[in-house]
Structure 1
Amino acid sequence: MSSQTEPAAQPGADPWNEETKRKFQNKSKSEYLDPCQEAAARSFRCLNRNEGDRQMCTDYFEAYRACKKEWIDKRKKEGRSFFG
Structure 2
Amino acid sequence: MPEIQYRENPVDEDTKRQFDTKETSKFYDPCQDAANRSLKCLRRNMGDREMCTDYFQAYRDCKKKWVEERKTERWKKAMGSLGFKIGDDSPESSSSSSSATAASGGTTGGEK
TM-score scaled to structure 2, two decimals?
A: 0.61
Q: Where do 4+ consecutive residues of structure 1 move more than 2 Å?
A: 7-11
Return the letter of the residue paired with 1:33. Answer: Y
Return the letter of the residue paired with 1:62. Answer: Q
SS in 2 for 1:29: coil
Written as runs of structure 1 = structure 2, the 5 A alignment for 1:1-84 is 1=1, 8-10=4-6, 14-79=9-74
CA RMSD between the two structures: 2.1
Task: Kindly state the Cα deviation for residue 10 of structure 1 after the two structures are TM-superposed.
Answer: 4.2
Contact 1:39 1:64 survives alignment (8 Å): yes
TM-score scaled to structure 1, two decimals?
A: 0.80
Which consecutive residues of structure 1, in runs of 5 or more, have no partner in the other structure? none
Which consecutive residues of structure 2, in runs of 5 or more, have no partner in the other structure? 76-112
* Bigger fraction of residues in helix: 2
Return the letter of the residue paired with 2:62. Answer: C
**Percent identical residues:** 53
Asked which structure has the greater RCO (Cα within 8 Å, sep 6+), the reply is 1
Count of residue pairs the alignment pairs up = 75
Task: Kindly state the Cα deviation for residue 8 of structure 1 after the two structures are TM-superposed.
Answer: 3.1
